[in-house]
Chains A and B, each alone.
Chain A
Amino acid sequence: MFIKKVLFPFSLVLLLIFIGACSQADHSKSEQESFAELKTYIKQVDDVQRRKEMLTLVSSMENNISLFNHELNAFTETSSKLFLDYDTDREVLDKEHKEWVQTRLEVQENLIDITFDFKEISTKEEWTQIVKLQDKIYENNSKSTKDN
């Protein structure tokens, strides 16, 4: 009875946490690799000034995505706990949600700015390649957040 009621669910939770952590580490790695690929490509740009500006944009992109992932994890964890607590008032959950929505919007707007900034300083050929590499980063990020 003890095994069925306590030990088994506990082991299951530990296993799920372990699988989640492995999968998260794996996707974070792919995301980092995609960023490295983008940086490697940009380092080949001949013009020193443009290259410098592009690397600053990549760094800003990294910061925004990292903020997004951090806030998403925090929101998911807090809101789940709050909601499962029978005594939590709706206003408390709404406040958490509102703050999350605001952060998400800020990240999205920053990423739109980064995209347009990239476009303004790139040649057509560079732009095509940069978009391809950026999409790879987003794809890895979406896999990672989905698995959370």
Chain B
Amino acid sequence: MLIAIFSYFFLSAFDEDSFIKLTRDYAQSQPIERQQLLNEHAKNMEADLQTYVDISQEAAKTVKNTRLTREEIKALLITYNDKRESTVQNIIDTRYKIKDALSREEWEEAYN
């Protein structure tokens, strides 16, 4: 029950999978140096996403069969939310790095 509050509620706030796929697709049509840069960003984003999933699983494992009090559980929730939040900030950073690397036309071609 508490596991649900710690894990299910985080499943879909971001659709990074599509963004990563579009980045890789666009990179393929680019010169090698740019291709490497975009693929590197996509790779970092994938790694951050994996960390996000790992933190959620760790949170679920921690509260499973726990005998913590209401307040202790809430404190734990804030700890795990903060951990996840720092990963989300990394993901947003990477998104903006990609945006900064592309002109408006290129951006629209890649993602719109």
Report A's interface with B, CB cutoff 8 A: 68, 72, 75-76, 80, 83-84, 86, 90, 93-94, 97, 100-101, 104-105, 107-109, 111-113, 115-116, 131, 134-135, 138-139, 141-142, 145-146, 148
- Taking the nearest CB of chain B, how far is it from the CB of A121, in angstroms? 14
**Which of B1, B88, B96, B104 interacts with A90 by CB under 8 Å?**
B96
Distance to closest chain A CB from B49 (angstroms): 14
Contact partners of B85 in chain A: CB under 8 A: 101
| B1, B77, B81: the one within 8 Å of A101 (CB) | B81
Contact assessment for B12 and A141 in the assembled complex, using a CB-CB cutoff below 8 Å:
no
In the docked arrangement, what's the CA distance between A113 and B74, Å?
A: 9
| B54-112 contacts to A (CB < 8 Å) | 70, 73-74, 77-78, 81, 85, 88, 92, 95-96, 99, 104, 107-108, 111-112
B37 within 8 A of A: no
Count contacts on B: residues with CB < 8 A to the other chain.
27
Which residues of the other chain, B, contact A76 by a CB distance below 8 angstroms? 12-13, 15
Q: How many A-B residue pairs have CB under 8 A?
A: 70
User: From DSSP, what is the main secondary structure of chain A's interface residues?
Assistant: helix
What 0/1 readout, one digit per residue, does chain B (11-33) give for beta carbons within 8 Å of chain A?
A: 11101000000000000000000
Which of A86, A100, A111, A113 is close to B13, meaning CB atoms less than 8 Å apart? Answer: A100
Known: A84-B112, A101-B85. A108 touches B77 (CB 8 A): yes
